Amino acid sequence: MVTHVPAETPGDERGMLLSFVEAQRGAIRRSLIGLTEEQAASRPSASELSLSGLLKHVAETELNWLRMAQQRPNEFARTEETWADSFRLVGDETVAQMLELWGGVAAETEKFIRSVPDLGDTFPLPEAPWFPAGERVSMRWLLAHLVEETARHAGHADIIRETLDGRTAFELVAEAGGYSNQS
């Protein structure tokens, strides 16, 4: 699995916020440990969500927010017709490809955030019914929002994974860290 851990300097607000974003990314990545493509795509509850679909969604969502902050077009922009495809792998897409995509987005997010002169710098929100007209948000807001958005989906991932095979986040953290319950 692609792992990206931002460097943090003690007392560095950027590093702290990037670390919180990364911690939530890690929770979603760990939810996929040891699963086949079929297991990752399964929907074991009444929800339409799957682990591979959540992975794709958070990768695309982070990229979308990054592109808004950079004020650049999003190469993965969705339309109303393709919105559902952001929650499922389509065609020959794989978990490994989505992990690689997200790893690249994560690295680009860190590089961009570390390059902005001030976390108070702002960018405009797009026109949408859920955003106030003409609203601008800061880079600090962006990072807090990425923590919020990714954590929400990490919680979904925990429930889906535990429903699939009973494995909890604690067990997956231990496995990812090379620890075991055996003495």
What mean pLDDT comes out for the span 67-90? 94
68-84 burial, b for 16+ CB within 10 Å, e for fewer? bbeeeeeeeeeeeeeee
Model pLDDT, residue 21: 97
Question: Looking at the DSSP assignment, which residues form a beta bridge with residue 123?
Answer: 137
For 54, the 3-state DSSP assignment is helix
3-state secondary structure at position 50? coil
CA 129, CA 125: separation in Å to the nearest integer? 11
- pTM of the full structure: 0.88
DSSP letters of 90-159? Answer: -TT--HHHHHHHHHHHHHHHHHHHHHSS-TT-EEEPPS-TTS-TT-EEEHHHHHHHHHHHHHHHHHHHHH
Which candidate, 4, 3, 1, places its Cα nearest to that of 110? 4
Domain 13-176 has CATH 1.20.120.450: yes
Say if residue 128's pLDDT is above 90: no
Q: What confidence tens digit (pLDDT) does each residue in 2-36 have? A: 444 445 454 689 999 999 999 999 999 999 999 99
In the DSSP assignment, the letter for residue 88 is S
